Amino acid sequence: MTESMRVDIWYSLQSDYCYFLIDRLLKLAKAQVDVVIRPVLGLVLRMPEATANRSELEQRYFVTDTKRTARFLGLPYTYPDPSPIQFERGSLWIASKEQPHVEHLYRLFVGANRQGKGLAFLDKVVRHFWDGSQPAWDTSGFLIGALAEIGLSHDTLLATHDWSNVEPELSANHDAMLEAGHWGVPLIVYQGEPFYGQDRFDQLLWRMGLNLD
Tens-place pLDDT, residues 46-101: 887 777 777 889 889 999 999 999 999 999 999 898 888 877 776 666 777 788 89
Q: Write the pLDDT tens digit of every residue in 89-112.
A: 766 667 777 888 999 999 999 999
Q: How far apart are the first and last CA of the chain?
A: 21
Is 2 or 168 the better-scoring residue by pLDDT?
A: 168
Q: Is this prediction's pTM over 0.75? A: yes
Q: What is the number of other CB atoms lying within 10 angstroms of the CB of residue 127?
A: 19
Contact 108, 156 (CB under 8 A): no
Q: Nearest-CA neighbor of 107 among 150, 140, 148, 156?
A: 156
Q: What pLDDT score was predicted for residue 4?
A: 61
Indicate the residue type of 77.
Y
The structural domains of the chain, with segments of one domain joined by +, span 3-208
Res. 1 pLDDT band, cuts 50 70 90: very low
DSSP strand pairing (187-190 vs 193-196): antiparallel
The CATH label, of 3.30.70.1150, 3.10.20.600, 3.40.30.10, 3.30.470.20, for the domain at 3-208 is: 3.40.30.10
Cα–Cα distance for residue pair 60/125, rounded to 1 Å: 28
Q: Write the pLDDT tens digit of every residue in 6-28.
A: 999 999 999 999 999 999 999 99
